[in-house]
């Protein structure tokens, strides 16, 4: 079955430290890949996406992600965490033939402490 795995349901970093949120998907065919962020009591906001082309994708708020086909991964990074980055982050995938249907990972809650 097609699936999306986010390693670590909770990640805690210090302000100014590197943020690394992991996402792996189950498919040998390159899918469409997305990262969304959800702040408390709000809907989901698109951070970035990969469809085709350059495998390093830059998004909003200083985040970026790299598509690695050989590792079936799409990890999200930010060089320096800010307190305002505290939120829940979701990796989502549209698999080939998926008719634009997003499959979500379970989410990673990011905490940023001073």
Partner 1 sequence: DAGITQSPRHKVTETGTPVTLRCHQTENHRYMYWYRQDPGHGLRLIHYSYGVKDTDKGEVSDGYSVSRSKTEDFLLTLESATSSQTSVYFCAISESGQGYEQYFGPGTRLTVT
Q: Indicate the residue among 15 and 22 with the shorter CB distance to partner 1.
A: 22
DSSP reduced 3-state for 74: strand
Residue 35 beta carbon to partner 1: minimum distance, rounded to whole angstroms:
11
Handedness of CA 49, 109, 39, 83 (dihedral sign): negative
Q: Which is nearer to partner 1, 46 or 83 (CB)?
A: 46
Coil, strand or helix at 86: coil
Q: Mask of contacts with partner 1, 88-107, x by CB under 8 A?
A: --x-x-x----xxxxxxxxx
**Token digits for 110?**
């990011």
Pairing of strands 10-14, 108-113: parallel
Show contacts with partner 1 in window 28-87 (CB under 8 A): 32, 34, 36, 42-46, 49, 51
Task: Please give the size of the binding site for partner 1, defined by CB under 8 A.
Answer: 25
- The kind and range of the H/E element at 92 are strand 87-94
- The CA distance from 96 to 101, in Å, is 10
Q: How far is the CB of 64 from partner 1 (least distance, A)?
A: 16
Site residues, partner 1 (CB under 8 A): 4, 6, 9, 32, 34, 36, 42-46, 49, 51, 90, 92, 94, 99-107
């Amino acid at each position: 079955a097609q699936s999306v795995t986010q390693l670590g349901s909770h990640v805690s970093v210090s302000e100014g430290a590197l943020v690394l949120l992991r996402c792996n998907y189950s498919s040998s065919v390159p899918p469409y890949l997305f990262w969304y962020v959800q702040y408390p009591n709000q809907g989901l906001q698109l951070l970035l996406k990969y469809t085709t082309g350059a495998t390093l994708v830059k998004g909003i708020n200083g985040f970026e992600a790299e598509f690695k086909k050989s590792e079936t991964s799409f990890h999200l990074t930010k060089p320096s965490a800010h307190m305002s980055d505290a939120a829940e982050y979701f990796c989502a995938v549209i698999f080939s033939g998926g008719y634009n249907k997003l499959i979500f990972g379970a989410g990673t809650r990011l905490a940023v402490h001073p």
